[in-house]
């Protein structure tokens, strides 16, 4: 079931989203060669704590996971696409890092992700991140009243596939509100004009996940959480929580 939010609820989601934006910006500013992923998680925890928010990631245990998620951010490095657990791994020059963060404040949830390079960038990585951001922008631009879920999916897929990237088989965005994952599923590729019609008051997390190798297959790492590209190529993941409104798409997780 899709919950239609009141304007007041969307304003409350914006406050949760602001905390997410702040946490991601702070994590990004703290990421440098030699810093561990666990240290980045501590940075995000402090932002959430200071804002009075809690984490929808910490302790999260969906059906596929054998263990509860142990952190407030996912840190997915290089060939890891999503769901990377922050470990004692120290960032190296040229690493491509995707950070995903959620926050719950006043009973409402925000969810967003950024990808960036630590130290010296490879041109191919910059191109993939820029394409992921462009795919996200296209998906958001398609998230208008009267359009359908398939229009968002098609917009994302067109940008990503058009630039030669693979997408994560079966993965995409989702409805969001009181819970982090609500209906509907928002695929990253699909047919325009198909699927649920978008209405004022819907809130969606839109999140392209690109694979440099051009394939869609992935494998699960031995930790049971981290999803990596099957071909070992690098990946990028970006995300915003967006409200569908009569005035157009409203990004709730901008800093
Ligand atoms: Mg996320
Ligand atoms: Mg999400």
For residue range 192-235, what is the model confidence (pLDDT) as tens digits?
Answer: 999 999 999 999 999 999 999 999 999 999 999 999 999 999 99
> Could you say which ligand is closest to the alpha carbon of residue 181?
2
Domain membership flag for residue 98: yes
Domain membership flag for residue 158: yes
Domain that holds residue 80: 7-251
CATH number for the domain harbouring residue 161? 3.90.230.10
> Over 90: is that where the pLDDT of 65 sits?
no
Q: In what order do the strands lie in the sheet with 240-243?
A: 182-187, 172-175, 203-206, 240-243, 250-251
**Number of separate domains in the chain:** 1
Domain membership flag for residue 1: no
Which residues, chain by chain, have CB under 5 Å from ion ligand 1?
100, 111, 113, 239
Spacing, Cα 145 to ligand 1 middle (Å) = 23
Domain membership flag for residue 2: no
> Could you say which ligand is closest to the alpha carbon of residue 83?
1
pLDDT, one tens digit per residue, over 98-109 is 999 999 999 999
Whole-number Å distance between alpha carbons of 194 and 216? 22
> Over 90: is that where the pLDDT of 61 sits?
yes
Domain membership flag for residue 72: yes
Q: In what order do the strands lie in the sheet with 209-211?
A: 166-167, 209-211, 235-237
Task: Tell how strand 182-187 and strand 172-175 pair up.
Answer: antiparallel
Whole-number Å distance between alpha carbons of 57 and 34? 25
Spacing, Cα 206 to ligand 2 middle (Å) = 7
Whole-number Å distance between alpha carbons of 69 and 223? 11
> Could you say which ligand is closest to the alpha carbon of residue 180?
2
Domain membership flag for residue 80: yes
Domain membership flag for residue 200: yes
């Amino acid at each position: 079931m899709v919950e239609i939010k009141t304007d007041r609820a969307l304003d409350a989601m914006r406050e949760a989203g602001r905390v997410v934006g702040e946490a991601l910006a702070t994590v990004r500013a703290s990421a440098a060669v030699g810093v561990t992923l666990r240290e980045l998680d501590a940075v995000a925890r402090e932002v959430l704590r200071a804002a009075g928010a809690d984490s929808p990631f910490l302790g999260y245990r969906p059906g596929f996971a054998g263990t509860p998620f142990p952190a407030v951010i996912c840190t997915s490095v290089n060939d890891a696409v999503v769901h990377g657990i922050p470990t004692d791994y120290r960032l190296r020059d040229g690493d491509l890092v995707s950070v995903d963060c959620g926050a719950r404040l006043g009973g409402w949830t925000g969810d967003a992700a950024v990808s960036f390079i630590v130290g010296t960038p490879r041109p191919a990585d910059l191109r993939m991140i820029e394409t992921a951001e462009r795919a996200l922008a296209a998906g958001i631009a398609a998230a208008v009243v009267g359009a359908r879920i398939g229009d968002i999916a098609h917009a994302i897929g067109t940008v990503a596939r058009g630039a030669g990237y693979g997408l994560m088989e079966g993965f995409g965005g989702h409805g969001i509100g009181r819970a982090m994952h609500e209906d509907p599923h928002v695929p990253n590729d699909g047919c325009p004009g198909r699927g649920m019609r978008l209405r004022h008051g819907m809130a969606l997390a839109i999140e392209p996940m690109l694979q440099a190798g051009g394939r869609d297959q992935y494998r699960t790492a031995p930790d049971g959480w981290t999803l990596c590209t099957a071909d070992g190529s690098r990946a990028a993941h970006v995300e915003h929580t967006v409200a569908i409104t009569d005035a157009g798409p409203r990004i709730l997780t901008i800093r």
